[in-house]
Chains A and B, each alone.
Chain A
Amino acid sequence: MTQAAPIAHRAGLVRGTLVVFRRELAAFFDSAIAYVYLIAALVLLASLYMNEFFLTGRLDMTPLFDTLAPLSIFLLPAVTMRLWAEDKKSRTFELYVTLPLRAGQLVVGKYLAALALYVIFLAGTLPIVAMLLSLGDPDLGLIASGYLGALLFGGLLLAIGTFLSGLTSDQIVAFVSSVAFGFALVFTGDPRVVAVLDGMAPALGAGTWLADSVAALPHYENFLRGLVELSSIVWFTGLTAAFLWLNTLVVARVRT
């Protein structure tokens, strides 16, 4: 008997994470769902953008990124809802957690697979950039900043969705709770919501407090204006890391 060492020990964390990443990414494309999902989401986003483009006639991708935020609230939980919930329902969770891999490797591998699918989706919007370039001279810095914002914002929603999927064996519960979380993140930053919440209890200033400390929208809008601020990058990556860490704790503890 030739014994293989635990992958977490022998080749560091990266190799085991990549093994999980490849399996999870392949699982998305094992059925037609990922293809249908990508095409439908791209057609929807591009249609909404092109409508705005023909109305304004501006060589600007900001309306696309503006539309992407509320759309992501529904699109990304559809990607993450199956990540853990399906494994728990079909009992493949037992198969996963009895492999010589750390909980962190499983979580990051699954998260990166979802992120890769999202990057493929974002890459699907690049023909729009090509179209704008062929029509004139758009602000490429602004476009790049918008893409960075979309990546960070989507990355956070995916981390939240992956975490919530780890709490349940029901994909619908995972989807609905992720959508609710996404709504809270986006709409607590909407000036109308802030005004309503502040108006309900002026002494508390709950709306302003939520917009300042919880809402993702102000940070996301910085990127749409071309402002790549370190504080916003840290805000997104810090929260993403926090949810992945929480997910790792859940996966490690779920066996007890």
Chain B
Amino acid sequence: MSPMIRVQDVTRDFGSVRAVDSVSFEIGPGEIVGFLGPNGAGKSTLLKMLCTFLPPTSGELAIAGHDVAREPLAVRSKIGYLPEHNALFETMRVSKLLRFMGEARGLGGAYLAERTEWVAEAMTLQSVLQKRVSECSKGFRQRIGLACALIHDPPVLLLDEPTHGLDPLQVVAFRDFVRGLAEGRAILFSSHILAEVAEISDRLLVLQEGRLCLDEGLASLQARAAAESSTLETLVLRTVQDARRTA
């Protein structure tokens, strides 16, 4: 099965700083992949390249078979993207924002109404639909951002720190929701909390100073940790420290 997300030897420099260094991986449909790493590891930069916001310095990225550099419009129509800072149009009413996001992605008529209703229900936004974005709490804003990312039912979801600002109950609800979305879809989400990633993901990618230092299925990682009478956290931490020493 062809990958939904393909990252091939991708490097991104900002002046003399190398934010992402020769990273390669593939994600297939139905996979939920957690993207782990400390702040400044390059997670957001890689997600920004995948969503066409930043071009790579070198290497190739593709979404659902479309090259990110050559076919950015096709790529953007295939992705749902929740940026790290989740900036939204503050003065818009939530219902109008969802409508705008749908229309900008080519939806219209009954299908747009149906999708708007679905995301509003899935994200429990009914109580804030007539409110302005600026009047919504942080938790609601995060859910509005997710609703915007899902309005067009994309086959690829790129979520940068999606649980940021959610309370514990909302985090649990989010995990269940993301698991429910996985069928036929590739989901890549970043976080710096291992427990959260381990709860949702099938596979873990760990970035350390721009380099991919771990790419392994969660089941395999847990089995390794058990074999070493260790914990998943210790295992991942040791991998990161080894990568830091090697660098």
Contact = CB atoms under 8 A, between A and B. Distances in A.
A6 B66 CA distance: 13
B78 interface: yes
Contacts, number: 97
Contact of A16 (B79, B96, B104): B104
B211 interface: no
A2 B88 contact: no
B62 to A, nearest CB: 16
A90 B155 contact: no
Given A4-B107, A90-B90, A92-B87, A255 B152 contact: no
A20 interface: yes
A21 B76 CA distance: 20
A20 B154 CA distance: 21
Interface string B59-79: 000000000000001101111
B88 A100 contact: no
B154 A99 contact: no
A94 B148 CA distance: 13
A95 B101 CA distance: 9
B54 to A, nearest CB: 6
A9 interface: yes
Contact of B78 (A3, A30, A91, A94): A3
Interface in A101-136: 101-102
Contacts of A201: none
Given A19-B103, A23-B100, A3 B53 contact: no
Interface in B65-116: 73-74, 76-79, 81, 83, 85, 87-92, 96, 100-101, 103-107, 111
A98 interface: yes
Contacts of B107: 4
B88 to A, nearest CB: 7
Interface residues of A, number: 33
A26 interface: yes
Nearest to A106: B104
A18 to B, nearest CB: 9
22 contacts: A1-B154, A1-B155, A4-B77, A4-B105, A4-B152, A6-B77, A6-B106, A10-B106, A11-B106, A19-B104, A23-B89, A26-B96, A27-B91, A27-B92, A30-B92, A92-B87, A92-B89, A98-B52, A99-B105, A100-B73, A100-B104, A255-B55
Interface of B: 48, 51-55, 73-74, 76-79, 81, 83, 85, 87-92, 96, 100-101, 103-107, 111, 132, 148, 152-155, 184-185
